[in-house]
């Protein structure tokens, strides 16, 4: 499913509209509700369902013989004797009904190929639904984290703005007050820039989420931010054992290989062509009345070598598919191993902290402000606390997003029903 990439310029132009069009206090929405909306209302989902229905309809007639053919020929006949004298003239017509019969083995192969087409369509639908669910879940968590990041950046920017206003009213005697004021102004500029970037990132995630769930692009949305508790992933060998049956790409490759094998057998079966048979009636009313009733039998003669060439080509495609299966499995093993290591690393990093670093540093930043205003803390320590708060928020949220994405990627690659996130 391709989602529209929104440029930074487009977001900047739409930002005022988003702010003006937003509701004052939209009701927070659960992540599970957003995922359900995205799966149910996505328009591309209906396209996959229609494709599956089309394959089922096409397969319903795959094992049947072609429809019978009715042929009618009408003409006129002029009869002359050996000397060229005219004797009689009248109508001549022929009617025939023919039916082409295929060999039972060929019909079975065609039915099997049609069944594989249905299975491939089912697999495509399942892969899309799983990818859509994972995309919606990851995007919902990203949106909730973007809300936290934007709020933190705005808090720090407002603290620096308040401090700047307070420093402007001080006695500017000596260079120290001026240097402190300029330092605070510089820090405020940086904080404002980060706040604007966080706000634009939040709006980008909002537009993408609204598009995914079929809502208007400017519809207001607030995600009910969960406290994440990342689960331990199963062992890598369990993922690999399940991937042979659960990896959509690998299963698709297997089905296509089986289908090529059936097509190879069908090409070999086509070397013995089917036959066409049926009754016919011929009536001649010139020089008397003559009626002929008979049975017509047609069978093509495979003298051109086309059937043999088709069989050899099908065999080569079959060999190519087997080689592609081996390469596809190596890719699955590599992707699973790398993703498993990435997820485990991210979980270990997050568990180094007993609580959420963003919350802990937020409290420290707020405490630093109150102590600085009371004169119990230097300006440098105050600024360091604010900068540390923003860095901690960025680092923690980025690791959380990467861990969630890696966890759902593990489920996609293996087919294991593994939900990496449990909200507590």
Identify the structural domains of the chain with CATH numbers, from first to last.
31-301+314-423 (1.20.1600.10)
Backbone angles phi, psi at 272, to 5 degrees: -105, 95
196 in Cβ contact with 130 (< 8 Å) = no
Show the tokens assigned to 72: 């009618």
Q: What Å distances lie between residue 360 and 179, 194, 224, 350, CA to CA?
A: 30, 20, 20, 14
DSSP-based three-state secondary structure for 80: strand
Show the tokens assigned to 358: 């963003």
Mean per-residue pLDDT for 174-192?
79
Backbone angles phi, psi at 275, to 5 degrees: -135, 160
422 pLDDT band, cuts 50/70/90, is: low
12 pLDDT band, cuts 50/70/90, is: very low
Q: Quick one: three-class SS letters along 359-382?
A: HHHHHHHHHHHHHHHCCCCCHHHH
Report the alpha-carbon angle 345-349-354, nearest 5: 145
Question: How is residue 353 annotated by DSSP?
Answer: S
Pair type for strands 421-423 and 228-230: antiparallel
Give CA–CA dist 296/330, Å, rounded: 57
Per cent of the chain over pLDDT 70 is: 84
Pair type for strands 86-101 and 228-230: unpaired
20 has pLDDT over 60: no
Show the tokens assigned to 322: 């087997």
- How many C-beta atoms lie closer than 10 Å to residue 369's C-beta? 20
Q: According to the per-residue pLDDT averaged within each range, which of 22-31, 279-288, 297-306 is highest?
A: 279-288
Q: Which residues of 236-268 are buried (b: 16+ CB within 10 A; e: fewer)?
A: beebbebbeebbbbbbbbbbbbbbbbbbbbbbb
Least confident piece of the model among 20-29, 75-84, 157-166: 20-29
Q: Give every CB contact of residue 25 below 8 A, 6+ residues apart in sequence.
A: none
200 in Cβ contact with 315 (< 8 Å) = no
Least confident piece of the model among 59-73, 169-183, 323-337: 169-183
Alpha helices by DSSP H, listed for 170-247, are 175-212, 236-246
6 has pLDDT over 50: no
355 pLDDT band, cuts 50/70/90, is: low
Report the alpha-carbon angle 193-204-216, nearest 5: 140
Backbone angles phi, psi at 421, to 5 degrees: -115, 130
Give CA–CA dist 39/45, Å, rounded: 8
Whole-model pTM over 0.85:
no
14 pLDDT band, cuts 50/70/90, is: very low
Concatenating the DSSP letter of every residue in 122-166 gives HHHHHHHHHHHHHHHHHHHHHHHHHHHHHHHHHHHHHHHHHHHHH
Mean per-residue pLDDT for 171-191?
77
- How many C-beta atoms lie closer than 10 Å to residue 175's C-beta? 8
Q: What Å distances lie between residue 340 and 133, 240, 327, 328, 381, CA to CA?
A: 20, 11, 20, 18, 40
Q: What is the pLDDT of residues 56-103, one digit of tens each?
A: 877 777 767 777 888 888 888 777 777 777 777 778 888 888 887 777
Question: How is residue 171 annotated by DSSP?
Answer: -
155 pLDDT band, cuts 50/70/90, is: confident
DSSP-based three-state secondary structure for 218: coil
Q: Which residues of 389-409 are buried (b: 16+ CB within 10 A; e: fewer)?
A: bbebbbebbebbbebbbbbbb
Q: What is the pLDDT of residues 288-298, one digit of tens each?
A: 777 888 888 77
135 in Cβ contact with 2 (< 8 Å) = no
Give CA–CA dist 125/84, Å, rounded: 75
pLDDT value, residue 196: 87
């Amino acid at each position: 499913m391709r989602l529209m990439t929104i440029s930074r310029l487009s977001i900047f132009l739409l930002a005022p509209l988003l702010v003006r069009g937003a509701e004052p206090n939209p009701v927070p929405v659960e992540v599970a509700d957003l995922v359900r909306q995205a799966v149910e209302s996505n328009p591309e989902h209906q396209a996959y369902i229609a494709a599956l229905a089309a394959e089922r309809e096409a397969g319903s007639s795959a094992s049947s013989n072609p429809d019978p053919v009715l042929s009618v020929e009408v003409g006129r006949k002029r009869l002359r004797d050996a000397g060229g004298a005219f004797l009689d003239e009248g109508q001549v017509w022929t009617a025939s009904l023919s039916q082409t019969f295929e060999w039972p083995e060929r019909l079975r192969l065609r039915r099997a190929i049609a069944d594989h087409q249905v299975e491939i369509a089912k697999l495509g639908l399942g892969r899309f639904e799983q990818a859509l669910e994972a995309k919606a879940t990851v995007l919902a968590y990203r949106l909730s984290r973007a809300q936290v990041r934007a709020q933190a950046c705005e808090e720090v920017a407002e603290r620096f703005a308040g401090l700047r206003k307070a420093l402007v009213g001080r006695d500017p005697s000596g260079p120290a007050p001026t240097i402190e004021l300029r330092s605070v102004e510089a820090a405020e500029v940086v904080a404002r820039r980060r706040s604007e970037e966080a706000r634009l990132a939040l709006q980008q995630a909002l537009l993408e989420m609204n598009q995914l769930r079929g809502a208007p692009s400017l519809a207001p949305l607030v995600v009910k931010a969960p406290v994440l508790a990342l689960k331990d992933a199963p062992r890598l060998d369990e993922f690999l054992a399940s991937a042979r049956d659960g990896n959509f790409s690998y299963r698709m490759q297997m089905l296509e290989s089986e289908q090529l094998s059936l097509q190879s057998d069908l090409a070999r079966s086509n070397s013995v062509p089917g036959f066409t048979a049926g009754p016919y009636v011929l009536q001649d009313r010139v020089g008397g009345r003559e009626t002929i009733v008979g049975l017509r039998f047609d069978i093509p003669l495979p003298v051109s070598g086309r059937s043999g060439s088709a069989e050899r080509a099908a065999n080569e495609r079959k060999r190519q598919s087997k080689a592609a299966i081996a390469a596809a499995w190596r890719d699955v093993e590599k992707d699973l191993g790398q993703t498993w290591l990435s997820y485990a690393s991210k979980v270990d990093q997050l568990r180094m902290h007993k609580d959420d670093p963003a919350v802990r540093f937020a409290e420290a930043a707020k405490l630093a402000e109150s102590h600085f205003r009371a004169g119990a803390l230097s300006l440098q320590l105050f600024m360091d606390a604010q900068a540390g708060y923003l860095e901690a928020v960025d680092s923690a949220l980025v690791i959380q997003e990467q861990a969630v994405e890696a966890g759902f990627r593990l489920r996609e690659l293996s087919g294991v029903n593994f939900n990496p996130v449990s909200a507590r």
